[in-house]
């Protein structure tokens, strides 16, 4: 899979975002109502990428800067948004590859923790995040009071070379 930084306004990003919204409708009965604007993902305050396989967009995801708030978010947090792999490309490790890429870019941008909101009807997403070191955190955002909401976070640590 080739990962390209496209921005959230790119036509392929919008197409995949519509697919993920339909996934939410199938699972929860409605799309994600969280406010998202393309400029939320403009560097240096964010990033949006698409994974391409054989020239076809098969995965997407991004992060946007967050700052300290009353829900427990902290300065230098980044929120993961719109992680999605099309059904025909699932099970190939694309989500994990994309997640690790987004973590690395958030670190490079000076972000120190990645946070996300998902739902209990997405057990595969929860399992992926848990396997990558994410743990439940205090709920935040639009769905913080929703019973099916799960918020997770991971401290981001830049890899450093050993100095002898």
Q: Give the CATH number, domain containing residue 34.
A: 3.40.630.30
Within a domain: 152: no
162 occurs within a structural domain: no
Average pLDDT for 45-56: 97
Say yes or no to pLDDT of 160 above 60. no
β-strands 77-85, 56-66 pairing: antiparallel
Tens digits of residue pLDDT in 68-93: 999 999 999 999 999 999 999 999 99
Q: How confident is the model at residue 100 (pLDDT cuts 50, 70, 90)?
A: very high
Whether residue 49 lies inside any domain: the answer is: yes
Residue 28 token pair: 């929860």
Residue 25 is given by DSSP the state H
Q: Are strands 77-85 and 113-119 parallel, antiparallel or unpaired?
A: parallel
- Block residue for tokens 């994974």: 51
Residue 123 pLDDT exceeds 60: yes
Band (154; pLDDT cuts 50, 70, 90): very high
d(CA 122, CA 23): 10
Residue percentage of the chain with pLDDT more than 70: 96
Residue 120 lies in a domain: no
Q: How many structural domains is the chain composed of?
A: 1
- pLDDT on residue 159: 59
Give residue 110's domain range. Answer: 2-115
């Amino acid at each position: 899979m080739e990962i390209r930084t496209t921005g959230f306004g790119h036509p392929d990003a919008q197409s995949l975002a519509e697919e993920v919204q339909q996934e939410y409708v199938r699972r929860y009965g409605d799309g994600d109502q969280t406010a998202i604007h393309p400029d939320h993902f403009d560097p240096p305050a964010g990033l949006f990428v698409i994974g391409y396989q054989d020239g076809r967009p098969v995965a997407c995801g991004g992060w946007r800067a967050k700052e300290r708030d009353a829900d427990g978010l902290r300065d230098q947090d980044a929120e993961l948004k719109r992680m999605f792999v099309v059904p025909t490309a699932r099970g190939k490790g694309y989500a994990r590859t994309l997640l690790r890429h987004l973590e690395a870019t958030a670190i490079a941008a000076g972000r120190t923790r990645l946070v996300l909101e998902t739902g209990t009807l997405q057990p595969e997403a929860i399992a992926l995040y848990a396997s990558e070191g994410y743990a439940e955190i205090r709920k935040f955002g639009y769905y913080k009071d929703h019973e099916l909401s799960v918020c997770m976070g991971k401290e981001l640590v830049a890899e450093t070379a050993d100095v002898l």
